[in-house]
Structure 1
Amino acid sequence: MRLIGWVPMLILILCSGCSSITIEDAETVRLDYWSGEVTEEIREEYIDENNGLDYFVDAVNAAEEVTGQRVITTRPLLSLEFVMEDKENRNYHLWVTDRGEGFIQSLQPHKSLTYRLGPDSVKELKDFFETKESVEVLKGEIEFEQ
């Protein structure tokens, strides 16, 4: 009889532990491109609904959590921060390769969760980066922490 009283509490705890990375109401996304071998060489760009915000929102919303979470050790292509309307901003690292792979790792508010991007999202992002001067997707495979 006492167990029945705890069921709603357990459901609430389990649901609050689930992480959703759905992006809604993003005003802009700030892209911090990584280049060279040190993080001080970062180039910043702001994207809004007029110049590609949907590519990044759609990619994150369609991403699937990787089972057996592992940290990616390959240097990211860029860091991105979604500037949200009246909510906490969301931060990620992004990897897109010339082999058609794509991943994101959440930094804030969900720390170090890894998600795989869908093939359509990877293609759209590769096409987006091709329009940018001096931005190339990553070469080779993504390496994970052992």
Structure 2
Amino acid sequence: MFLVILLLSACGKEIENVEEVNVNYWENGVRNQKDEVISDKSSVEIFTKAVSEAIELDKGKVITTKPLLSFHLVAKEGEQGYHLWITSNGNGYIQSLYPTNGDTFKLIKTSIASLTEFINSKENIDVIQNEIEFEE
């Protein structure tokens, strides 16, 4: 196994040496019970780069739409967990699950494109067709 040496600080606690990403796809608004473990360098980098380059939204900006998937960055130093939303009109967001809970981030266009390509490579998984809804 190899290590992707990245320092992630934009979305929470710093994690170095991300070894794998555990992805759990949501179906009809319900979290699937089986995780996909991703350990190939290029796919791990898609997720780590998306997290490190995401732009934090105002505090209290919570998404109410069910996520497309949940993912967990796994390293020896710990884990970071997120929900992910990508829409058909090209918007993307992540919301932290842990170590902090509820911080919401907007993804940059290059991350949205990479994640959309990743999602399109999967069977029976599509980006969200509607706009993302936030708590008021």
TM-score by length of 1: 0.79
SS in 2 for 1:52: helix
**Of the candidates 113, 116, 127, which is equivalent to residue 123 of structure 1?**
113
For structure 1, the 5+ residue unaligned runs are 1-17
Contact 1:29 1:82 in 2 (8 A): yes
Contact 2:11 2:52 in 1 (8 A): no
Task: Specify whether residues 114 and 21 from structure 1 end up closer, same or farther in structure 2 by C-alpha distance, changes over 3 A only.
Answer: farther
- Give the alignment's Cα RMSD to 1 decimal: 1.9
> What is aligned with 1:25?
17
Contact 2:95 2:102 in 1 (8 A): yes
Q: Residue 59 of structure 1: CA displacement?
A: 0.4
Q: Residue 37 of structure 1: CA displacement?
A: 3.6
5 Å-filtered alignment, 1:70-85, equals: 70-85=61-76
C-alpha distance in 2 between matches for 1:53 and 1:75:
23
C-alpha distance in 1 between matches for 2:107 and 2:13:
12
Aligned AA for 2:115? L
- The reply to whether residue 114 of structure 1 matches residue 104 of structure 2 is yes
Q: Which structure: greater helix fraction?
A: 1
C-alpha distance in 2 between matches for 1:135 and 1:23:
28
Task: Specify whether residues 48 and 72 from structure 1 end up closer, same or farther in structure 2 by C-alpha distance, changes over 3 A only.
Answer: same
Q: Residue 140 of structure 1: CA displacement?
A: 1.6
C-alpha distance in 1 between matches for 2:11 and 2:52:
12
The structure whose Rg is larger is 1
Aligned AA for 1:98? S
Runs of 4+ in 1 over 4 A off after TM superposition: none
Among all aligned residue pairs of Structure 1 and Structure 2, give the percentage whose two residues are the same amino acid: 38
**Of the candidates 18, 40, 49, which is equivalent to residue 58 of structure 1?**
49
**Of the candidates 86, 91, 94, which is equivalent to residue 84 of structure 2?**
94
C-alpha distance in 2 between matches for 1:22 and 1:127:
27
TM-score by length of 2: 0.85
C-alpha distance in 2 between matches for 1:84 and 1:110:
17
Q: Residue 132 of structure 1: CA displacement?
A: 0.9
Contact 1:93 1:104 in 2 (8 A): yes
